[in-house]
Each structure stands twice: as structure tokens, then as C-alpha cells.
């Protein structure tokens, strides 16, 4: 984003101005609307349908239009749009015809970050939301009153965002469409780098290149924190100054005395004990996220006792190893895991909880991901005791790949395929038994299958 555009946007971010937000009901867009509204800016917005989230915005005094129409823009000083709002959107067309500047969501967040002393950006292919959530808990425990933008509902915040008065902003930072290159990190953490979003990126090398650009944005007096156990991350950041975290003892921040279930450990920073932590979730990947959160907190000068308390009080973000209820004596969980590495790590984590069977119902999220990561999906889903496949959720795509979940199911021994979510639910109910962990996983409506089979609480 050039400096002229930055100046133009900052001029719009003043009390008394009016900003229209296209797609205001989205997670990041809601947070943006609330931050701007809190600054005394008049906010209007539109979305395709009314939800509890748009109703919450209305309750705060924000005007929300249902449906996209040119007249919704009104006399806005600028328009900010979600990535899903394309150039043929009537509100975008109107704005451009009338000389009203149109900005992207990520551009707006990047400009807002310039007003904070510390902009903590959490990046990586996996673990962004959980790590952001843990950092938020720690900063809240430290009474730092942060502003937060996260990709999921946080019980602590009763939302997926927070408008704070302190000098810190904590932001989940996604590489898709190079969004995070619009941000202004003073502290950046990179959890991992893997092939993902191959409908946008050409290959892993292109992904590494964009992460490299992101890392280079951290100022000399800031902190770049990197997963030292991830060879791709280390290769990407060659020559840059950074601090490492990870499970290996060669990292600047690492755990010792790790319990067999990965829930307890002592955290060492630069050779000295920093804190003892206990995390609520199971799995090595969750401990890695916690070590990353500790690394950020240590760099930011937060004491170890506060970190211990913050992580001990951490409540998972929605759809992260979330216990939904019970069915025929089985425990029903839901998780957003939609990349094969995430699915595999989730199943491995559940194994440590002592269940007799891990039953995984998976719905691929987008045709491109199912096609480009096909073999990895087969490998990951084969680690469950029982695998159930639901047809692909298209999201933003059309099936130009000619692929179906049935193709993945055919490669997994004993796997059962269904076309719809209700069919999956019916099957899960029929096979559920005591000692099972039933997991619904994926980015689409597969969550409804687990919710449908949960028995009412007595």
C-alpha cells in the first residue's frame, strides 16, 4: 500500500467521518467496524444475510443493511470491503463511479496498526488462532488492555475481537492473498510454513517468498519469533535476525520436563526458567502453540507468573478441539482442522486422551485444497480408527478440478462416503458407542453433523 493511500485512509479514520463496510458480518470485518466505531466514526455496513453478529453490531449503534445495493453507500468518505466482495458488487461499482475510495480489509487493519505501540502479528500455516488466543489470555491477565482481532469466537471476549485502550494490538495474520503484507508488525511470530492455499500460490517457494517479505517488515527494534523446529521456516528466514521457539532444546525458548500428554512443562528462555505451564488441550501441536505464546510474552517483558496464570485460564477458541456433547456414550468433538497436517495432529492429540476409537467425519473445504493435497489427506485420515467422508464444501469455488470426497474415501481402507451432512449425522449416531471420540472436522457445515447427534443435557 503506497503512502498516498495510507494518508488518504488515515484522513478517513477521524472522528466524525463516515465509513461503509461491505461484508460487515464477517469475523475480521466485525472487529474492524467496532474499532472504527469506537473512534467516533459513523459506521454503516452491508451483508448478504442477517445473523446474530449483524444484530450485535446494530445493538452497538451501527447501521447494517441486509443485501448489497448502491444506495447503501450513502455519503461515505470511503468504503472498506471484504475479499468476497468483488468489483461487480453494486456498492463497489457505486463507490468508484462517485469517486469514493475503496480499500481492502487488510489494508485498513494495516493502517490501524500504525497507531499502536506494539502490533503483534501471529502468522503461519497452522495454529494462528490458538496462539493468538493464548497470547490474548496472557495480555489480559497482565492487564494490558489489548485490542484483538482473531479468527474465531473466544469465550473470554464473548466475541472474535476486542477493542482495547492499551498500546497493544494482537492480530491473527493470514498469508492468503498476501493479506498480512498490508500489516505493520512490530512483533511477528511464524508458527510454521507449509503448502496451503494453492488456489492462490503457485507452490511452496512462492509461499516462502511471501513469508519472507512479511518477516522483513519487522523493524530493527521489533521482534521476529520463529519456529526453530520447522526446517521450512528456518530456510525462509536465512540471514534475518530472529529468536527461535520450539520443542527442541537448541531453541531460545523451549520446554523441559514435558508430561506424556503434552499438557505440562517448564518453559526455558535463554537458558533460564521462565515459567511452568499447564494447557487445557491435548496434543503436541497445542503445546507448541503455547510455547510460541510464551515466546511472544517473554519478548514483551511479561513476567512468568502472569504467563502461567494466563495459559492456565485459557479457554479454547470455538471449533478447536471443542467438546460439543455426547451420543450413545461417545464424546462428540468438533474442530476447524481443514489441512491434512492439522487433521493428523488433531487425531494424534486425541489418542493421548485414552479413547478406544477415534471416529473422524471429515468434509474437505474447497475443491482446490482437496485436489492439491489429495495424497496428504489420504495419509492423515487413514490414522483414524473409523473415517467418514462428506462431500466437499465448495465455499468460494466451482469444481473445475473434477474431484469428489468419494475419490479420497476410495483410497482409505474402510472409509464410508456420504453426499450430505444429515447422512453423515445419521451414520455417526448409528455407530457411536461408549469409549469413542467422534470428531467432526473441516471448514464447512460438517459441524452440524456433530451437533445433530448430541443428546440433550439432563
Specify the CATH number for the domain of residue 33: 3.40.50.720
Same domain for 141 and 96 = no
- Check residue 291 and give its pLDDT: 98
Active site residue 232: no
Query: For residue 388, which of 400, 405, 373 has the smallest C-alpha distance?
Result: 405
> Are 23 and 99 in a shared domain?
yes
Residue 12 lies in a domain: yes
Element spanning 179, H or E: none
Q: Is residue 136 part of a domain?
A: yes
Out of 129, 131, 232, 387, the active site residue is 129
Residues 158 and 292 in one domain: yes
pLDDT at 254: 98
Residue 458 domain flag: no
Cα 203 to Cα 18, 118, 195, 206, 453, distances in angstroms: 41, 32, 7, 5, 40
Do 97 and 144 lie in a common domain?
Answer: no
* CATH number, domain with residue 216: 3.40.1190.10
Q: Determine contact, residues 284/247, Cβ cutoff 8 Å.
A: yes
Cα separation of 181 and 176, whole Å?
10
Domain shared by 154 and 38, yes or no:
no
Would you call 141 a catalytic residue per the annotation? no
Considering only CA atoms, which of 291, 289, 292 is closest in space to residue 320? 289
**Has residue 70 been placed in a domain?**
yes
Clarify whether residues 40 and 135 are in a common domain: no
Task: Tell me which of 268, 291, 312 is where a domain ends.
Answer: 312
My answer on whether 129 and 259 are in the same domain is: yes
Residues 179 and 292 in one domain: yes
Domain stops at, among 75, 109, 143: 109
The enclosing domain of 375 has a CATH number of 3.90.190.20
> Residue 423 has what pLDDT?
97
Asked if the structure places residue 394 within a domain, the reply is: yes
Give the domain range for residue 333: 322-453
Contact 323, 332 (CB under 8 A): yes
Do 7 and 145 belong together in one domain? no
Catalytic position from the list 172, 175, 194, 196: 172
From 78, 87, 74, select the one nearest 13 (Cα to Cα). Answer: 78
290: Cβ–Cβ under 8 A, 6 or more apart, which residues? 134, 277, 279, 311
Q: Which of these three, 312, 347, 382, is where a domain ends?
A: 312
Q: Are residues 120 and 241 in the same domain?
A: yes
Q: Are residues 54 and 71 located together in one domain of the fold? A: yes
Question: Does residue 123 lie in a domain region?
Answer: yes
State the Cα–Cα distance between residues 428 and 425, nearest whole angstrom: 5
Mark whether 190 and 296 lie in a shared domain: yes
129 has catalytic annotation: yes
How would you write the pLDDT of the chain (458 residues) with one tens digit per residue? 788 889 999 999 999 999 999 999 988 899 899 999 999 999 999 999 898 889 999 999 999 999 999 999 999 999 999 988 889 999 999 999 999 999 999 999 999 999 999 999 999 999 999 999 999 999 999 999 999 999 888 999 988 889 999 999 999 999 988 999 999 999 999 999 999 998 899 999 999 999 999 999 999 999 999 999 999 999 999 999 999 999 999 999 999 999 999 999 999 999 999 999 999 888 899 999 999 999 999 999 999 999 999 999 998 887 788 999 999 999 999 998 999 999 999 999 999 999 999 999 999 999 999 999 999 999 999 999 999 999 999 987 899 999 999 999 999 999 999 999 999 999 999 999 999 999 999 988 999 999 999 998 76
User: Is residue 24 in some structural domain?
Assistant: yes
Count up the domains in the chain and report the number: 3
The reply to whether 445 falls in a domain is yes
Amino acid at each position: 500500500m503506497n503512502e498516498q493511500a495510507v494518508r488518504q485512509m488515515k484522513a478517513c479514520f477521524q472522528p466524525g467521518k463516515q465509513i461503509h463496510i461491505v461484508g460487515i458480518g464477517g469475523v475480521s470485518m466485525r472487529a474492524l467496524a467496532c474499532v472504527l466505531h469506537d473512534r467516533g466514526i459513523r459506521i454503516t455496513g452491508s451483508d448478504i444475510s442477517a445473523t446474530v453478529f449483524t444484530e450485535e453490531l446494530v445493538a452497538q449503534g451501527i447501521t447494517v443493511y441486509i443485501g448489497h445495493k448502491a444506495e447503501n453507500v450513502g455519503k461515505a468518505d470511503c468504503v472498506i470491503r471484504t475479499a468476497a466482495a468483488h468489483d461487480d458488487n453494486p456498492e463497489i461499482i457505486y463507490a468508484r463511479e462517485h469517486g469514493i475510495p475503496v480499500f481492502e480489509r487488510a489494508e485498513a487493519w494495516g493502517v490501524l496498526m500504525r497507531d499502536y505501540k506494539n502490533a503483534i502479528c501471529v502468522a503461519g500455516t497452522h495454529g494462528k488462532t490458538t496462539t493468538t488466543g493464548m497470547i490474548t489470555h496472557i495480555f489480559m491477565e497482565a492487564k494490558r488492555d489489548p485490542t484483538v482481532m482473531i479468527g474465531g469466537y473466544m469465550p473470554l471476549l464473548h466475541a472474535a475481537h476486542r477493542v482495547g485502550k492499551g498500546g497493544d494490538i494482537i492480530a491473527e495474520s493470514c498469508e492468503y492473498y498476501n493479506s498480512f503484507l498490508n500489516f505493520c508488525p512490530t512483533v511477528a511470530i511464524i508458527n510454521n510454513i507449509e503448502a496451503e492455499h494453492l488456489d492462490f500460490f503457485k507452490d511452496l517457494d512462492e509461499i516462502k517468498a511471501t513469508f519472507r517479505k512479511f518477516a522483513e517488515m519487522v523493524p530493527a527494534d521489533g521482534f521476529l519469533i520463529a519456529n526453530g523446529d520447522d526446517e521450512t521456516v528456518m530456510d525462509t528466514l536465512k540471514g534475518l535476525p530472529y529468536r527461535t521457539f520450539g520443542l527442541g532444546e537448541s531453541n531460545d525458548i523451549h520446554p523441559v520436563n514435558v508430561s506424556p500428554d503434552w499438557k505440562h512443562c517448564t518453559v526455558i528462555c535463554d537458558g533460564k526458567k521462565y515459567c511452568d505451564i499447564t494447557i487445557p488441550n491435548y496434543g503436541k501441536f497445542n503445546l507448541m502453540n503455547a510455547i510460541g505464546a510464551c515466546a511472544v510474552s517473554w519478548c514483551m517483558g511479561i513476567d512468568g507468573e502472569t504467563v502461567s496464570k494466563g495459559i492456565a485460564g485459557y479457554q479454547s477458541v470455538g471449533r478447536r478441539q471443542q467438546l460439543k456433547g455426547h451420543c450413545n456414550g461417545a464424546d462428540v468433538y468438533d474442530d476447524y482442522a481443514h489441512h491434512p497436517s492439522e487433521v493428523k495432529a488433531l487425531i494424534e492429540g486425541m489418542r493421548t486422551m485414552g479413547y478406544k476409537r477415534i471416529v473422524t467425519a471429515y468434509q474437505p473445504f474447497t475443491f482446490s485444497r482437496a485436489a492439491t493435497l489429495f495424497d496428504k489427506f489420504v495419509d492423515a485420515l487413514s490414522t483414524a480408527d473409523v473415517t467418514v467422508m462428506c462431500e466437499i464444501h465448495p465455499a468460494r469455488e466451482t469444481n473445475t478440478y473434477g474431484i469428489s470426497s468419494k475419490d479420497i474415501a476410495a483410497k482409505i481402507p474402510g472409509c464410508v462416503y456420504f453426499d450430505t451432512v444429515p447422512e453423515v449425522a445419521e451414520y455417526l449416531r448409528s455407530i457411536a458407542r461408549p469409549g469413542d471420540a467422534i470428531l467432526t472436522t473441516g471448514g464447512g457445515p460438517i459441524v452440524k453433523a456433530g451437533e445433530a447427534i448430541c443428546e440433550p443435557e439432563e
